[in-house]
Amino acid sequence: MNEVAAKSKGDSAQPRKLSRAARRQQLIEATIETIAERGYARTTLTDVANRAGLSHGLVNFHFETKEKLLTETLVFLSEEYRANWVAALAAAPDTPAQQLDALIRADFNPEICTSARLAAWCAYWGEAQCRPLYQEHCGSNDAEYFRAMLGICERLASEGRYGYNPTLAARVLRVTLEGVWLDMMTMNTPYSRAEALTTVYACAAAFFPHHFTLDGPKPAEGA
């Protein structure tokens, strides 16, 4: 992605040919940006191509149809999202509080949580024709995410002897994360990432007060 990003920024430095994969990636990035700026409904292949500094015939050359371009863009977003939280979990210490913290912070990773990506996600959620598509391509990722969240909540619940059903805690945390993302899109005075993070920590602290405060996980504690 760095290679492509670097190339696509420079106005005239475009190499005539890029590897097949790099060119496709460049067009997918342009698609995300176009959806964010113009909306899904008014995104045209010419827009996407122009944004990438290419001619629109090329989009059909690489993706065959507009529909396939939009599908592959969604798949890319979904995989990128998944890879991000999986990596965050792997990098965090294996205590449930640190794992939940990593999962929460992953959602606000500046690489993932850009305004263009938020807008594109929101557009896909809203497109009815995309719903079967979404479930086909992203449903398994969502399910995996929820299992991860649930496993962490179960460990927290047993450690902290909380009275809550961990399934409900996991569900509330997930919808809170989703809702905050949506809020960042629709509010007229959009929050900063820091405010968004505090909101989610407030939720975590409400469910797991032995483990979390508004500032994040407590240093170290048993039950």
Partner DNA sequence: TCCCATTTTGAATGATCAGTCAATATTCTG
Partner DNA sequence: CAGAATATTGACTGATCATTCAAAATGGGA
| Residues at the contact surface with a copy of itself, assessed by CB under 8 A | 35-42, 119, 122-131, 134-135, 139, 142, 164-165, 168-169, 171-172, 174-180, 182-183, 185-188, 198-199, 202-203, 205-207, 214
What is the distance between the alpha carbons of residues 44 and 39, in angstroms, rounded to a whole number? 10
Radius of gyration of the chain measured on its C-alpha atoms: 20
Give me 31's structure tokens: 């698609």
Q: How far is CA 210 from CA 153, 156, 197, 205, in A?
A: 13, 9, 19, 8
Are the C-beta atoms of 45 and 66 separated by less than 8 Å? Answer: yes
Write down the least CB distance from residue 20 to DNA, Å: 4
Binder of residue 6, out of a copy of itself, DNA, none (CB less than 5 to 8 A by kind)? none
Query: What's the farthest any 2 CA atoms get from each other in the chain?
Result: 62
Query: Alpha helices, DSSP H only, in 92-190?
Result: 96-107, 115-126, 130-160, 166-186
Q: How far is CA 30 from CA 50, 64, 185, 206, in A?
A: 9, 16, 19, 40
Site string for DNA, 187-216 (x = CB under 7 A): ------------------------------
Query: How many C-beta atoms lie closer than 10 Å to residue 85's C-beta?
Result: 22
- Which is closer to DNA, CB of 59 or CB of 200? 59
Write down the least CB distance from residue 185 to a copy of itself, Å: 7
- Which is closer to DNA, CB of 26 or CB of 78? 26
Write down the least CB distance from residue 125 to DNA, Å: 20
Binder of residue 103, out of DNA, a copy of itself, none (CB less than 5 to 8 A by kind)? none
Instruction: Examine residue 61 and tell whether it contacts DNA (CB under 7 A).
Output: yes
Among 45, 104, 123, 138, binds DNA (CB under 7 A): 45
Instruction: Examine residue 66 and tell whether it contacts DNA (CB under 7 A).
Output: yes
What is the distance between the alpha carbons of residues 172 and 157, in angstroms, rounded to a whole number? 14
Binder of residue 202, out of DNA, a copy of itself, none (CB less than 5 to 8 A by kind)? a copy of itself
Binder of residue 125, out of DNA, a copy of itself, none (CB less than 5 to 8 A by kind)? a copy of itself
Which residue has 């409900």 as its token pair? 168
- Which is closer to a copy of itself, CB of 28 or CB of 122? 122
Q: How far is CA 80 from CA 12, 63, 72, 83, in A?
A: 29, 19, 12, 5
Residues lying near DNA in the complex (CB under 7 A) are found at 15-18, 20, 23, 42-46, 49, 54-58, 60-62, 64-67
